[in-house]
Amino acid sequence: MFSAINLASLTALCLQIVKALLIYVIGRIAIDLIIKAVKKGLEKTSLDPMLHKFICNVIKVICWAEIVIAIMTVFGFNASSLLTVFAAAGAAVALALQGSLSNFASGILIMVNKPFKKGDYVVCGGGEGFVESIDLMATTLVTMDNRVTIVPNSQITGASITNVSKKDTRRVDMQIGVAYNTDIDYAKKVITDFINSDPRVLKDPAVFCEVTKYDKNAVELEMRAWCNGADYWGVKFDIQSALKGVLTNAGIAIPYPQVDVHIKDNK
């Protein structure tokens, strides 16, 4: 009788092992098929490739968790108890990695909403520079002087984002002070003609040049000109470098702070 009980137990154990192996093999094949189908579907969307990998990994984790639960159920474990254990473990991990999970969630938001892409020049999260990479935990920026800045994603989504490269065109703004005895209409014409002579400056919208302020030492004009985003810095620096000579050659004085002292003789 004892041998019969042992034989029955061994047979039952062997059947459990066989069932577990079948669940494992079938589950693994099913996961591979599901992941392939998901990848094909994601390739047709506009989601970031980094997010494709994340979604596939999440699906893999969920599927493998279900396989593990199914296998352990075969061996007599209670499925509800296993789910409770997994939930408790997940909550503990989430609490311990609260900051990291915040960056993680922010990374997903960035990839879904796409406020910027690789190569854009952005100001965000206390950093500024060209976007080199967008990862799930942080975004890497390269500054104009080639320094690398790594900004946590939670800082980016928790503050304003300025994407300098989002639009094809940019406006060059410049304040120019001229002496009070200057013919303002003449000064505006000289500045406008000079700006329009640069082929990189767009004709539409037209160049703007008007008086914006009467300062202590000068009449201040504001110039606004539009150009393609790629030409912005070249146009700005070239105009700033050449404008003084242009105004001087046109007989327009550029004032500087000065004080007139009048001495009164009381004798």
Q: What is the DSSP code (8-state) at residue 201?
A: B
> Does 157 share its domain with 176?
no
Q: Is 251 left (phi over 0), alpha (psi -120 to 50) or beta?
A: left
Q: Which residues pair with 227 in a beta bridge?
A: 170, 201
Q: Which tens digit of pLDDT belongs to each residue from 93-102?
A: 555 545 567 7
Least confident of 61-75, 99-113, 165-179, 213-227: 99-113
Q: Which residue has the higher pLDDT, 15 or 28?
A: 28
For residue 70, the model assigns a pLDDT of 85
* pLDDT, mean of residues 30-39: 89
pLDDT band at 147 (very low <50, low <70, confident <90, very high): very high
Interatomic CA distance for residues 76 and 19, integer angstroms:
12
Task: Judge whether 104 lies within some domain.
Answer: no
> Does 200 share its domain with 175?
yes
Name, of 24-28, 130-134, 169-173, the range with top average pLDDT. Answer: 169-173
Q: How far is CA 74 from the centre of its chain?
A: 48
What is 35-73 written as a DSSP string? HHHHHHHHHTS-S-HHHHHHHHHHHHHHHHHHHHHHHHH
The CATH number assigned to the domain holding 131 equals: 2.30.30.60
Q: What is the DSSP code (8-state) at residue 17?
A: H
> Does 207 share its domain with 192?
yes
Instruction: Report the relative pairing of strands 127-134 and 169-178 from DSSP bridges.
Output: unpaired
Task: Judge whether 238 lies within some domain.
Answer: yes
CB 55 within 8 A of CB 38: yes
The CATH number assigned to the domain holding 53 equals: 1.10.287.1260
Which residues does 253 contact at the CB level (< 8 Å), separation at least 6? 178, 179, 181, 182, 247
DSSP, collapsed to helix, strand or coil, labels residue 234 as helix
For residue 260, the model assigns a pLDDT of 65
In degrees to the nearest 10, what's the CA dihedral of 195, 198, 202, 204? 50
> Does 53 share its domain with 130?
no
Task: Judge whether 228 lies within some domain.
Answer: yes
Across 81-182, the runs of DSSP E, i.e. the strands, are 121-124, 127-134, 138-142, 148-152, 161-163, 169-178
Task: Judge whether 107 lies within some domain.
Answer: no
pLDDT band at 2 (very low <50, low <70, confident <90, very high): very low
Structure tokens at 70: 């199914």
For residue 40, the model assigns a pLDDT of 86
Task: Judge whether 258 lies within some domain.
Answer: no
pTM of this prediction?
Answer: 0.60
> Does 126 share its domain with 177?
no
